[in-house]
Amino acid sequence: MTSVLYDVPGPRARARNRALGVATVVVVVAVIGFVVWRFVDTGQFSARKWELFTYTRVWQMIGGATLATVSAFAAAAVGAVVLGFALAIGRLSDHAWVRGPVAWVVEVLRAIPVLVFMLLLYYGLPVVGIKMPSYWAVVIALVAYNGSVLSEVIRAGVEALPRGQREAGLAIGLRKSGVMRLVLLPQAVRAMMPVIIAQLVVTLKDTALGFIITYPELLYTAKLLGSNANFGSPLIPSAMIAGTIYVAMCLALSYLAFVVEKRTRRSVKAIDATVV
């Protein structure tokens, strides 16, 4: 017996799984080949469409757009984490008059789509005499939505901890705020770190919605370059370059999360060894 959770596949099941695996690989390769063939057939790899990206000025525009994307993401990430902690602590409060309104705020912020929030801030506020730059419209919308999502993540992490953790903190004389700050939140954040980073990756990608309100981020610049008729409207090459940059930024963020999680795990082991 190699497992108690499921039956070991027999000869027929293994043969069927191999056939399904081969068929899946063939289908995926065929789809990729078809897409590449269509790109070649429509001239997406022609020198004319890629000539635009041989100019230094174009790459300066792409670099500036990437910096604008990172700038909006950095501000939104910090704000979302701070708001997430604040709302999570409010949801975990023992006082109903705090817990109830905070719960309503979280549900409302989670229910409003990010794009709708951006449109309201950028196009709706001028109706009442408030002019907001596109940068802050993007940042505030991302902070509101992702902060509400992170608050639920953090709250779930705290509530998943054994009740003995809270009781032990109270037993050694800590106040409720001290138990939350010194005992519960560090463990919850450490356990939910992969989910938190995954939500921050979503925040990074959602900055692309800013192009709808004319925020000059990476997607906005890629669309602008792709509509250049003098070079055959290289929309596909622009999308490929922008997509590669987005993938690189997401991979860098994921690697940062891996490093943080690894160091955190190492520090916990060191503390356990010291206590022993």
Render pLDDT for 50-60 as a digit per residue (tens, 0 to 9). Answer: 888 989 999 99
Average the pLDDT over 142-164 and give the result.
Answer: 85
Higher-pLDDT residue of 2, 230:
230
- The yes-or-no verdict on residue 8 having pLDDT over 80 is no
Predicted TM-score (pTM) of the model is: 0.81
Q: And the tokens for 160? A: 């998943």
pLDDT reported for residue 274: 52
pLDDT reported for residue 142: 94
pLDDT reported for residue 244: 93
- The yes-or-no verdict on residue 17 having pLDDT over 60 is yes
pLDDT reported for residue 275: 47
pLDDT reported for residue 172: 73
Q: And the tokens for 20? A: 């399904």
Q: And the tokens for 246? A: 């987005």
